[in-house]
Structure 1
Amino acid sequence: MKSFLIIGMGSFGHHLCRSLERQNCEIMIVDERQEYLEDMLPYVTSAKIGDCTNPEVLRSFDITSFDACFVSVGSSFQNSLQITSLLKELGAKKVYSKADEDIQAKFLLRNGADEVIYPEKDGAERIAIRVSSDNIFDSIEISEGYYIMEIQPRREWFGKTIQELNFRKKYRLNIMAVKRDKELFPMPGLNYEFSEGEHLMVLGHIDDIRKVTK
């Protein structure tokens, strides 16, 4: 079971905490204000009130015992920078820090963040992709320009197999799964035959995905 530390229990911290709990993770949460912790108590292993810009407060948490630490302090970017730097100095295995702008991300990375999270930007982009096409239903960015997307198969594919269409070579996409009536069937074989009413989970570059969803 993995163990995580979340510093800052604003909106993002709350959503992250619930999501990690659903994955059966051990979670410690920290905030300066007790009222931000109270509704999360059923989801966590422990909750602490403290100012994490104070090195002694962080030392008391045994930082090296966590698989990763999340910095989601929203009140002060300076505090985010300071906490990120202190976590790395104290031996944090991995630090994820929240940013609102690209310039913040640059400073966080320079101060030791292993990865920067843009919750508002990522959420907005995901919605924009979904609403911009009637044939795209969900998306997850896995690296710059590359996504896993849930799409509707084209009508001309119905009754044909992956092999008959030479799908991967022709469309430069990999089919990761087929979704049928909310049930997921991973890694369909070459003999999978496309049919109406199903969705495909495809992996590829956004430009190639857009070509097949026009």
Structure 2
Amino acid sequence: MKKEFAVIGLGRFGGSICRALAEEGMEVLAIDMDEDRVNEFAMIASHAVVGDTTDENVLKSLGIRNFDHVIVAIGDNIQASILTTLMLKELGVTNVTVKAQNDYHEKVLRKIGADHVVHPERDMGRRIAHNISSNNVLDYLELSDEHSIVEIVASEKMDGRSIIEMDVRARYGINIVAIKRGNEIIVSPQANDLIKKGDILIVIGADSDINRFEKKVLQ
């Protein structure tokens, strides 16, 4: 069975999620107070409605509790974001992801039961900064405030050396969870697997350990 999603707020963030879910073939209900935005998504989402989600009766009439996941992507109206989240949880929605404007907004959202809180602008800023500050880093995904998954291009220093020889887990506290070599992907590489210059290493660990690894081995 297809999962059913509801996206509340059809600005840049909510709109992009709505499009992506629709492209994946998911059932998506798009909701916004702006009729023009709703009309824009009428042919993209499974259903698109104009509605004030701070009104409990509106949420009930939409059968919101039956959705597998609701994304609250309300823009600058923090009060509406909080009220909507609160009512979604009170109505029994299992999975609620909410866009936060700042850390204080996040604290309130977590206190009232938001299951996932995202900071798209902040996180994208960090991601871009990390990518452009290192020639060897291709991509960067923050898992928490202190841990990340990073795609790193293997340097000449690493060419022909095995994972056990470099002993990255003991020396740096990080794990190489996969190696991409052209069209080939080596998942859970073995200790005796050799790394070649230009390989893309998928590395997971604490940010401080990854940074230390980059400085010692990649530069």
Q: TM-score, normalised by structure 1?
A: 0.92
SS in 2 for 1:137: strand
Q: Is the 8 A contact 1:152 1:213 kept in 2?
A: no
Quote the offset at 1:78 in angstroms. Answer: 1.1
After superposition, give the CA deviation of every residue in 1:116-167 in whole Å (9 maximum; x if it has no partner): 2111111111111111111211111112311110112232221121123233
Higher mean displacement: 200-209 or 147-156 = 147-156
1:175-201, Cα deviation, whole Å (9 max, x unpaired): 122123365432222232111121111
Aligned equivalents of 2:64 and 2:79: distance in 1?
21
1:138 is aligned to: 139
With 56-65 and 38-47 compared, the bigger mean Cα shift is at 38-47
Q: TM-score, normalised by structure 2?
A: 0.90
Alignment coverage as a number of residue pairs = 214
Number of the residue aligned with 2:214: 213
Corresponding residue of 1:28:
29
Contact 2:65 2:88 in 1 (8 A): no
Give the equivalent residue in structure 2 for 1:102: 103
**What is the letter of the counterpart of residue 110 of structure 1?**
K
Q: Aligned partners of 1:155 and 1:122: how far apart in 2? A: 31
TM-aligned CA deviation for residue 169 of structure 1 = 1.9
Could you tell me how far apart the structure 1 residues matched to 2:172 and 2:103 are?
33
Asked whether the 8 Å contact 1:4–1:27 carries over to 2, the reply is yes
- Structure 1 residues 64-83: Cα deviation after superposition (integer angstroms, max 9, x where no partner): 22122111111421111111
**Structure 2 CA distance for aligned equivalents of residues 9 and 174 of structure 1:** 39
Q: Structure 1 stretches of 5 or more lacking a match? A: none
**Which residue in the other structure is 2:91 paired with?**
90
Question: Contact 1:154–1:213 at 8 Å: present in 2 too?
Answer: no
Give 2:163's aligned residue.
162
Q: Tell me the distance in 1 between the aligned counterparts of 2:99 and 2:183.
A: 32
* Partner amino acid, structure 1, of 2:192: N
141 and 182 in structure 1: CA distance in 2 versus 1, 3 angstrom threshold: farther
Counterpart in the other structure of 1:194: 195
Where 1:51 maps in the other structure, the secondary structure is coil
Say what the alpha-carbon RMSD is for the aligned residues: 1.8
- Higher mean Cα deviation, 24-33 or 162-171? 162-171
Equivalent pair of 1:96/1:117 in contact (CA under 8 Å): yes
2:82 paired with 1:81? yes
Q: 2:21 is aligned with what amino acid?
A: L
Moved more, 160-169 or 6-15: 160-169
State the alpha-carbon separation in 1 of the partners of residues 150 and 24 from structure 2: 22
CA contact (8 A) 2:76 2:101 kept: no
Task: Give structure 2 stretches of 5+ with no counterpart.
Answer: none
Cα distance change of structure 1 residues 122 and 49 upon mapping to structure 2, 3 Å threshold: same
Q: Distance in 2 between matches of 1:105 and 1:207?
A: 24
Distance in 1 (CA, whole Å) between partners of 2:109 and 2:134 is 34
Percent of aligned pairs sharing the same letter: 36
- TM-aligned CA distance change 1:50 to 1:183, over 3 Å: farther
1:97 partner SS: strand
Aligned residue number for residue 60 of structure 2: 59
